[in-house]
Amino acid sequence: MLFTLFSCLKPQEVKDKAHVINSMAATLDKQYPGVPSVSFTNLTNDSQLVDLRTAAERNISTLPKAISKEDYEANYESYKNKQIVGFDTLGQRSIVWVSEQRAYGIEAYNLHGGILAWAHAGGKFITPSGEETKTVHVYAQAWDMLPEGFEAITE
């Protein structure tokens, strides 16, 4: 449903992208009432970010200290005392993964609004080599809701 809504939007015509992102994230929260979300400001030193996007998306950039889903799943025992926070572009893929983790008894949370909300909140992005960047893979052109100053990649 969210993909359909987003595909109708023309990102270049949206004036308040942060509001649209928050509204879409709130819709996800309503669709998955048993899956808690955490905002950018509520992350702690005990939070372990898990990037649930594809390798192609992560190869453009990711969030500092984030690990891939594959790295997490290969070493999940070492993260037992961490607050697991899954994320993707907006939260549609990650909220499903977080729901699955919680079914296994893992204290996992969805990053409210994903990387789009992160960018609007002033969060930093890094390349695979650890350099800061403003280039972000946003899944598809319709999802290019990044703030001014960022470059969206969709391929």
pLDDT at 142: 83
- Cα–Cα distance between 41 and 33 in angstroms, integer? 21
pLDDT at 120: 96
pLDDT at 143: 85
If residue 73 lies in a helix (H) or strand (E), which one and from where to where? helix 69-74
pLDDT at 12: 65
Low-confidence ranges of the chain (pLDDT < 50): 1-6
Tokens, residue 24: 């879409």
pLDDT at 2: 47
- The pTM score is 0.90
Instruction: State the DSSP string of 98-153.
Output: HHHHHHTT--EEEETTHHHHHHHTT--EE-TTS-EESEEE-SSGGG--PPTT-EEE
Q: Tokens 């990650």 sit at which residue?
A: 94
User: Could you give the 3-state DSSP secondary structure of residue 86?
Assistant: strand
CATH of region 2-140, choose from 3.40.250.10, 3.30.70.100, 3.40.30.10, 3.30.565.10: 3.40.250.10
